[in-house]
Structure 1
Amino acid sequence: MVKMMENLCSGVLMVLALIGVSWNVVMVTSQQFPAMYVFGDSLTDNGNNNYLNSFAKANYVPYGVDFYEGPSGRFCNGRTIVDYLGDLLELPYPPAFANPFATGKNILRGVNYASAAAGILDETGKNLGERFSLSQQVENFETSLNQLKRQMSEQELRQHLAKSLVVIILGSNDYINNYLIPSLYPTSYIYNSKDYANLLIEHYTSQISALHSLGLRKFFLGGVGPLGCIPNQLATGLSPPGKCVSFVNDMLAMFNLRLRSLVDQLNTQHPDAIFVYGNTYRAFSDILDNATTYGFNVTDRGCCGIGRNQGQITCLPFSVPCLNRNQYIFWDAFHPTQAANQILARKAYTGSPSDCYPLNVKQMAQL
């Protein structure tokens, strides 16, 4: 077994050398990562917005109908992608930062800073009330860091941060709530789609750099999925039946391409760290294109919701969702079911370079 691990790591390092990435290798034998720190939006929010004055909340049934805690603030019928990823990493679910119990020893295995309606830009989601933007989430991490400093020596903390996994999944709201609704925001009148993608990447880069400067070293950066295929966009009627809204997906391709290039740039600039691009767009498109293979029968509407494609109004309190939830890709107008989240988590954990570039999460843990 030891020999197999040595061969695996040697192969990984050879691949990294070919793409010009290098760093000090630290073998983790007792655990894959000591902690997981999550930054994001409603795709990964596990209850932060419960404590904010926001319209973007999921602390009521039918949300959580298949989750052991019931409605927890997760925008899903059950577990999110980071919940499943935590299961694969044998990590406990990190507490929501805003939860009063997210203090002391309770944050030693990680914290979830994700906030529904949040985006890369500070103004994203302002129409829905309070939320933790990416820049605020970074500040919240600094608050947690101050608590960690009181529980570890300087060397212990440095090693803890360097070995921990950072998951950032953001960008969807910057398009849904900003660029695609010009009546709420003038963004789409100011920027063409290429310039807007560049704007997002510029802001994204500064916040990632801030987290790196604070000591974090292993980053999984999830791209934006095919938003033109979600029930909310299908409900606009801007595409023929059975087709995704192509112009929306074309815009996202620009952002994702820039994000993948950013990963190469960051790996070159910071040889002490590893940055991975999670190709959410490809992974989710694969599920849509091969739905029956993955066990899904319904691909174009939410399990709960109102209006065309069950995507015009999201799950209302005490509404009755579909019974065959594992056969639905989408839970509501915007979010996947836990069945789809489980597949996405597996692709992030052990996926090929087409799903995770240049490494998957399991390979990251071995460095």
Structure 2
Amino acid sequence: MKKQAVAAGFVLLSFMLPTKASAASFGFDQLYVFGDSLSDTGNIYNATGGTFPQSPPYFEGRFSDGPLWIDYLGDQLGLKPTLFSTIPSTPSTQGINFAFGGASSGSGNAVVPIANLPGVLEQVLGFAGTLQANNQTANPDALYTLWGGANDFLFLSPEDSSTPINNISLALNTLVGIGAKNILVFNLSDLGKILAATIDDRNPATLSKSTNEFNLGLATTVNALSQNANLNIIPIDTFSLFNQTSALGFTNVTESCLSRLDICDPGNNKFFFWDDFHPTTAVHKLVAETALAAIESKSVPEPAINLGILALGAFGAIGVLKRQQKRSALVSAGRVIDAQLSHTTVEN
């Protein structure tokens, strides 16, 4: 798909903001996704004309060997949001996925040199602007997901963590300001521990320090918003989750599955990393399990009902492990296919 579709503007979204639909089994009737390659199910692939990420070996325009966490979660919720890059050709009333691989925390893309590719904050502000231009507010019965910030540290090398923290915090506050009630908020995994931390002159210690600063700043924002009894903000602690690799059964955390396709067969859940930056679909499934456990732990709030706020990190890896042992009907991991991405691979 030509990049002009991405540059067409957020004004095209006005017809995508429907009246309340029939509720899904979990109480959500739409799903809106904001983020980077960890949540991008095909936007950057469409924007680059199907050239990045190369698929195969990457799975259907995703930065992994199979479905992403948002695919797994969407299946559980019965919702499949439309890709932003396909609007208006395939409109959907089930929500929109705005995430772009390589998105910076603010505006623009940290990896792909194409104009008008929105950063995470830019995705949220564009969505908010469209709503306001049409005198609308965000659907209070939708689920909104926000996960970003890693690309700044991996590719833009900010001098400190304040800019990424401020960008993601502003994005979160903007969603709240336009009426979003149910928001999944993800912190960052330890960037100093990913395979890419030791290549291209990156410093693992610096990346770990930046991760900790970012997560503390994000937690401060979440804690402040937790004072609002009408909000259902659900923090997802991927930092703790990804630090429990051995407890979760991953035996190879030093090589990428992509670099060892001779032993990394389709459905293999022993490899933690798909490439130097991104986790395998087996890890994405755990993330989805974590999010689903958090959602199931409390009902979807109606306006003015105080449901409280989860503590950041309440759903760590061990809880997910126990949950997995009880659930036998999960979808099997996606297929693994071959070839390798260059060092311009998008973020963690």
- Settle same-fold status: TM greater than 0.5: yes
Q: 2:222 aligns with which of 246, 259, 263?
A: 263
SS at match of 2:244: helix
| Pairwise CA distance, 1:163 | 1.8
Q: 1:347 aligns with which of 283, 286, 290?
A: 290
Q: What are the Cα deviations for residues 65-95 of structure 1, in whole angstroms up to 9, with x where unaligned? A: xxxxxx2x21111111111122232x23212
| Pairwise CA distance, 1:278 | 1.5
Residue in 1 aligned with 2:242? Answer: 284
2:188 pairs with 1:224: yes
Which segment is superposed worse, 206-215 or 135-144? 135-144
| Pairwise CA distance, 1:134 | 1.8
Larger helix share, 1 or 2: 1
Distance (whole Å) between structure 1 residues aligned to residue 64 and residue 89 of structure 2 = 22
Q: What are the Cα deviations for residues 255-277 of structure 1, in whole angstroms up to 9, with x where unaligned? A: 10111111011222x43222232
Task: Specify the structure having the higher radius of gyration (Cα).
Answer: 1
Distance (whole Å) between structure 2 residues aligned to residue 109 and residue 299 of structure 1 = 36
| Pairwise CA distance, 1:206 | 2.4
User: What are the residue-to-residue correspondences of 1:13-92 with 2, within 5 Å?
Assistant: 30-53=25-48, 57-64=52-59, 71=60, 73-89=61-77, 91-92=78-79
Distance (whole Å) between structure 1 residues aligned to residue 183 and residue 66 of structure 2 = 25
User: What are the residue-to-residue correspondences of 1:94-133 with 2, within 5 Å?
Assistant: 94-100=81-87, 104=91, 106=92, 108-122=93-107, 125=110, 128-130=113-115, 131-133=117-119
Distance (whole Å) between structure 2 residues aligned to residue 42 and residue 118 of structure 1 = 8
Question: Cα–Cα, structure 1 residues 121 and 29, in superposed 2: closer, same or farther, change >3 Å?
Answer: closer
Residue in 1 aligned with 2:148? Answer: 170
| Pairwise CA distance, 1:322 | 3.2
Question: Cα–Cα, structure 1 residues 55 and 339, in superposed 2: closer, same or farther, change >3 Å?
Answer: same
Question: Cα–Cα, structure 1 residues 128 and 334, in superposed 2: closer, same or farther, change >3 Å?
Answer: farther
Distance (whole Å) between structure 2 residues aligned to residue 138 and residue 29 of structure 1 = 24
SS at match of 2:83: coil
| Pairwise CA distance, 1:295 | 3.2
SS at match of 2:269: helix
Residue in 2 aligned with 1:16? Answer: none
8 Å CA contact 1:54, 1:128 repeated in 2: no
Distance (whole Å) between structure 2 residues aligned to residue 220 and residue 31 of structure 1 = 14
User: What are the residue-to-residue correspondences of 1:292-303 with 2, within 5 Å?
Assistant: 293-303=247-257
**Structure 2: which 5+ runs fail to align?**
1-22, 302-348
Residue in 2 aligned with 1:215? Answer: 179
Residue in 2 aligned with 1:135? Answer: 121
Q: 2:208 aligns with which of 246, 249, 252?
A: 249
Distance (whole Å) between structure 1 residues aligned to residue 99 and residue 67 of structure 2 = 15
2:232 pairs with 1:274: yes
Residue type at the aligned position of 2:244: D
Distance (whole Å) between structure 1 residues aligned to residue 276 and residue 24 of structure 2 = 42
Residue in 1 aligned with 2:295? Answer: 361
**Structure 1: which 5+ runs fail to align?**
1-27, 65-70, 180-186, 189-195, 240-244, 311-318, 351-359
Distance (whole Å) between structure 1 residues aligned to residue 166 and residue 143 of structure 2 = 23
Question: Cα–Cα, structure 1 residues 202 and 295, in superposed 2: closer, same or farther, change >3 Å?
Answer: closer
Residue in 2 aligned with 1:337? Answer: 280
Residue type at the aligned position of 1:263: V
Q: Give me the CA root mean square deviation.
A: 3.1
Residue in 2 aligned with 1:184? Answer: none
Q: 2:265 aligns with which of 323, 326, 343?
A: 323
8 Å CA contact 1:296, 1:328 repeated in 2: yes
Residue type at the aligned position of 1:43: L
8 Å CA contact 2:82, 2:90 repeated in 1: no
Residue type at the aligned position of 2:236: G
SS at match of 2:297: helix
Distance (whole Å) between structure 1 residues aligned to residue 168 and residue 76 of structure 2 = 27
Question: Cα–Cα, structure 1 residues 54 and 249, in superposed 2: closer, same or farther, change >3 Å?
Answer: farther
2:161 pairs with 1:197: yes
Question: Cα–Cα, structure 1 residues 134 and 299, in superposed 2: closer, same or farther, change >3 Å?
Answer: same
Residue in 2 aligned with 1:191? Answer: none
Distance (whole Å) between structure 2 residues aligned to residue 31 and residue 320 of structure 1 = 41
Question: Cα–Cα, structure 1 residues 301 and 101, in superposed 2: closer, same or farther, change >3 Å?
Answer: farther
